[in-house]
Amino acid sequence: MAPAAHILIVDDEPALREGLAETVSDLGHRPVLAASGREALERVAADPAIAAVLLDLRMPGDLDGMAVLQRLRARAEAPPVAVLTAYASAENTIEAMRLGAYDHLTKPVGRAELAGLLAGMLARPTAKPAPPAPASGDSCLIGTSEAMRRVQKAVGLAADSDATVLLQGETGTGKEIAARALHAHGRRRAGPFVPVNCAAIPAELLESELFGHLRGAFTGAVRDRPGAFREAQDGTLFLDEIGDMPPAMQAKILRALQERVVTPVGGQPVPVTVRVVAATHRDLPRLVAEGGFRQDLFYRLNVVPIALPPLRERLADILILAEHFLGLSGGAAKRLTSEAAAALMRHPWPGNVRELRNVIERAALLARGPAIGPADLGLADGAEPPPDLVRPDWPGEDLPGAVARLEEAMIRRALMENGGNRARAAKRLGIQRQLLYAKIDRYRLHEAGLSENPTADVANPDA
């Protein structure tokens, strides 16, 4: 049998730290505990057998989780690090992955998920030191849904690379925002970000727009123009709607990508150093099969594919985005009523995030009072919800209150179904026992006689 791996658990919350330690022990490993960032660094320095780190993001003191991650990854032989947080955001997800985190997970982490996480981390070779962190920036890749978190993680992993990225998704899903996030979090962030909409430029002008021209090269060329490739030197060139590029230009773009050389109209070849990010709403594999897009160019573009999900597949993000756009609308503070929130969730959003932003901006402008109701949204009456959305009985309370009510109901049910046995109830809910104890105290469920049955099937029975 393989020796138990030393797993460092870094969390300032004793209950969560002990709960993770218990699960790690049950999985056959040896937990090593640290309550702060500085203690974590001391543990790693003192114990070369530490094979993986579970790191909380928010911790008191001058060393938060991101700073600890950066210092750990700067070591010559850095153990793999997984960031665990109850406060996941686009920014900390992207930055953690860019700095070399093995994964970025939201708390609580279930036993099966933790087992899979540790198995992957322990099978991974020693990581290389991380690059220095860029200055903070706003990527605007807002969302906490699983679909959006996959995008955020992919952006973080690809940010520092020079590999060509192909962003695919429906119109309005935020492909340019993802491209800007790749640039803002990457090592070329000090260079320019140059966007070119390949569908908006006439075919006869696209070559000059991309590669530049010399004065007199054609009628109307009254001065030299560098072109987008050279304007993006040492930065990022974003080729939007590349699926609409004319066939003749596809061959020239392929050569530029392969050789990193461009030829201005009427000029000589010029080398360029640029990172290329392309995007399209079209089905490129189908276009290739139909002969509308070069297969070799598709393979050259599709080095790192990232798919942007439509808003109908990001239901958890709709209200988060709506509140964000309300905050950007300016003017007097306004809020969504529960009926307006329900209307937003029912709408199918064919225009995706772009449509949602327009709806919220219009409602913020036209609503007469501080509250935005369904009529202020201007959505079509009787709009059908996405087929996988079950219409809930929308509560009249605020979101934290509704979430707490749902959490209490789920805990009550888990305790009742397991005869009050808290260990089995915690396993059913996918959380650590210590976290369940804290929530039982919070909701005073012990007073209801639901948690009186002591746990008899674990090493430390309840008193």
Q: What is the CATH number of the domain that holds 351?
A: 1.10.8.60
Whether residue 364 lies inside any domain: the answer is yes
Residues 321 and 263 grouped into a single domain: no
The answer to whether residues 74 and 121 touch, using CB atoms and an 8 Å cutoff, is no
Domain count, the chain: 4
> What's the rounded Cα separation, in Å, for the pair 156 and 76?
22
Whether residue 460 lies inside any domain: the answer is no
Residues 6+ apart with CB under 8 A from 52: 5, 7, 8, 79, 80, 81, 82, 102, 118, 121, 122
Residues 299 and 154 grouped into a single domain: yes
At residue 449 the predicted structure's pLDDT band, cuts being 50, 70 and 90, is very low
Residues 195 and 299 grouped into a single domain: yes
**pLDDT in the model for residue 61:** 78
The answer to whether residues 242 and 278 touch, using CB atoms and an 8 Å cutoff, is yes
Whether residue 272 lies inside any domain: the answer is yes
**pLDDT in the model for residue 108:** 82
Residues 180 and 218 grouped into a single domain: yes
Query: Between 376 and 443, whose confidence is greater?
Result: 376
At residue 140 the predicted structure's pLDDT band, cuts being 50, 70 and 90, is low
Last residue of a domain, one of 307, 337, 352: 307
Q: pTM of the full predicted structure?
A: 0.74
**pLDDT in the model for residue 389:** 43
**pLDDT in the model for residue 76:** 79
Mean pLDDT of the region 421-432: 81
* Rg of the chain over all Cα atoms, to the nearest angstrom: 26
Mean pLDDT of the region 146-152: 93
Residues 150 and 250 grouped into a single domain: yes
Tens digit of pLDDT for each residue in 325-344?
A: 988 876 567 889 989 999 99
Phi, psi angles (nearest 5°) of residue 166: -115, 115
Whether residue 137 lies inside any domain: the answer is no
Residues 112 and 257 grouped into a single domain: no
- Say which CATH number the domain at 413 has: 1.10.10
Mean pLDDT of the region 346-352: 94
Whether residue 278 lies inside any domain: the answer is yes
Please state whether beta strands 236-240 and 270-271 pair in parallel, antiparallel, or not at all (unpaired).
unpaired
Which structural domain range is residue 105 located in?
Answer: 6-122
Whether residue 201 lies inside any domain: the answer is yes
Tens digit of pLDDT for each residue in 6-58?
A: 999 999 999 889 999 999 999 999 999 999 999 999 999 999 999 999 999 98
- Say which CATH number the domain at 293 has: 3.40.50.300
At residue 442 the predicted structure's pLDDT band, cuts being 50, 70 and 90, is confident
* Residue matched to tokens 């808290």: 422
Whether residue 389 lies inside any domain: the answer is no
Residues 366 and 303 grouped into a single domain: no
Residues 369 and 428 grouped into a single domain: no
Whether residue 138 lies inside any domain: the answer is no
Mean pLDDT of the region 303-313: 95
Residues 167 and 273 grouped into a single domain: yes
CA dihedral sign of residues 220, 225, 227, 231: negative
